[in-house]
Structure 1
Amino acid sequence: MLGDNPASPIWRAERGGIVPGPIIAVVGDANAQRTFSPPMKDPAMAKLAARELGRELARKGARLLVYGGPFIESDVVTGFVEGKPAEDRSILMWYTRNQEPPPFAEEATNPKLFDRRLEKGEDWEVAFYRALTRADGVILIGGSNATMISGQVAIGAQMPILALKEFGGGAARVWETLSAGEDLPNRAEIDLMGHPWRKDDSAAACVAALFAQLRRRQLKATAPGPLTAILSGLLFAAALAIVPFIWGGNALAVWMLFVAPLLAGSAGASIRPMVDRLRGTPGVTVSILGALVLGLVAGGMAGVLFVTAQLTADPTLTGAQLIPYAQRSIPFAVAVGFIAGLTSDAVFGKLLGLEAVATRGMPGVEAQRR
């Protein structure tokens, strides 16, 4: 998984050398002489925001993808060069031969930072939109139709996106179409894009949100396949079956005590995406099969810990007392399994943290035994 700083050893150590940082495309315009819809707000501040974002991207080890010309890219490039990027050829310019953009002012003083590349075709749109599909993320500020189209391309491709609403233009129109739970940005990140720009911390917060989206996208892309999920679920169920078979004497009530939280956990995990969507704070998206297996394992583990807690609290639960205990405890096991599946991220977080298992029985069960 990516580190917070792609320029860090976490990003670079994979093959023992320097791995280039993510490519962030920049699209937009803040020309005070143009008419935008919705109207451009504070073009001077928009240019300052672009420059600050450029500096922050350079510090984070990212690369820029720009087309050129007197647009918002020029301000981002200025800030990027000021941020002193560590790698040469970290500002990518892809364009068609008949539509070669004029050089940036920084190309004269820092030529090693720029990488110009010719694309096929004659119209500027050919290189422009084709290059977007090769980016790892996109930043939109102001702009008009091209900015709006670029944003929709990014949304459709589940690409990390930063569309600043504050400055109006096409970027604001893109922001209005973002939907937490359906698109890659979550509710907090969409809200951040709509906040007024603050000189002290907005750039760092926005770039952090962009990289958080990139991490989520990579996690989704590297998620295990269905065969792995099925095998994991079967192995866990087989391991769990040993407990009622040996400890419970193969009694039906004891089997149900362990099967119930498995099924309830899968149900809880299946419902979780709907709950997340209603709240507007989705986690990492997984397949339906993956969610079922995660819920099954979380519910099963919670059931085991639940039963273990009761046995630790009352070691006499053996023999003839075992069947009545199992029958009384099944409703509790269902509830525990469902909650574990619904909150499977928290369950696995605790297990990975090696937190101590509680050894006190549930009050309701203890009261029944008394």
Structure 2
Amino acid sequence: MKILFVGEALSGFGGTETVIKKLTQFIENDTQEQHQYMLYFLCRNNKFDKTWLINKKTFFEYAKLNISFIRKMQYVNSLTKFIKNYQPDVIISFDITTCELAAKAIKKTQLSIPLVSWVHYSLEHKKHPECVTYADYHFAISRGIQQQLNKRGIANDKIFTIFNPVTNHSDAIARPDPNKPKTFIYIGRLKYEGQKRLKDMFDTFAQITGNWVLHIIGNGSDKALCQDYVMQLGIENKIKWHGWQPEPWDYVKKNIKQINALLLTSSFEGFGLVLVEAMSYGIYCISSDCPSGPADIIQNDINGKLYPLGELDILRTEITAIIDGKVLPSSEQIKISIKSFYDDEYYQNVKQRLHWIINHFN
């Protein structure tokens, strides 16, 4: 099976990159079947990190033109030539707008190749979500995205809901001793409001007393704004900024070492990969019940807690309960709760679905 992944250039620091890197690694290491893949990126400039693509099979098409429809024509023409040469069995688009471009390129080749959408964000929060309908089939990374696809007239028999994968780690990240500060962590982009709504997290902690510390791993355009706001709230001494880390969980194990809970205050997600990553180390998670993803992962009081989006009083109550000594589920119980997300089951599911799509396409 030859797979062509197509999409716009990625920053190199997000969850989409993590999952693409992992899936292509599974393909490379598959000893049962011989597969090939290529990552084809549509780029407007060269200002993005390529470190995550080291040793990956990649192709970059650059179009610097500012006129949108001419730029798209260039993308379609170059992609058409590439498809004719590469002759993939299936094409997977990992963003919305590329679904349209890839569909037009396939049509120009006059080849019979199925196109699968595999978007990693909420369709409700992106421009031109209707472009996803150009795909023949769809991998939905959460039930929320499945529902958003249904809303756009896509039938369930064209959708395969496959949650993002996580590695089953043999070790666990311990919790601090009871006499030490309760330790919380956030890992992700630093967005004051917008998607990540770190302002909600800071406002909540500003109203919490007790012995606690919040570690923040990540970077973003709102870093200075977040740090200034923390100082305004007077909690700067309880928040530790670690910056972006290429291997965040290795960094946590080496430098932070002990965690009580991971926090996510997002207004929307595609999946919420950081939640299952944390749980794979036995970490309890508190998240907003945002669209979409967290509700597929968190089971209340079994591996974490969901709170209604924007209900900061409830978030404060949950965090305060941990600070006051709430007994949390064991690390082992948390790890077992996400067994359906682990790597082996994920890759077998993806392979089966792709084979089915190829065999059933016109």
Q: Is the TM-score greater than 0.5?
A: no
Q: Which structure is higher in helix share?
A: 1
Greater relative contact order (Cα < 8 A, sep 6+): 2
Q: Which structure is higher in strand share?
A: 2
Normalising by structure 1, we get a TM-score of 0.30
Bigger-Rg structure (1/2): 1
Normalising by structure 2, we get a TM-score of 0.31
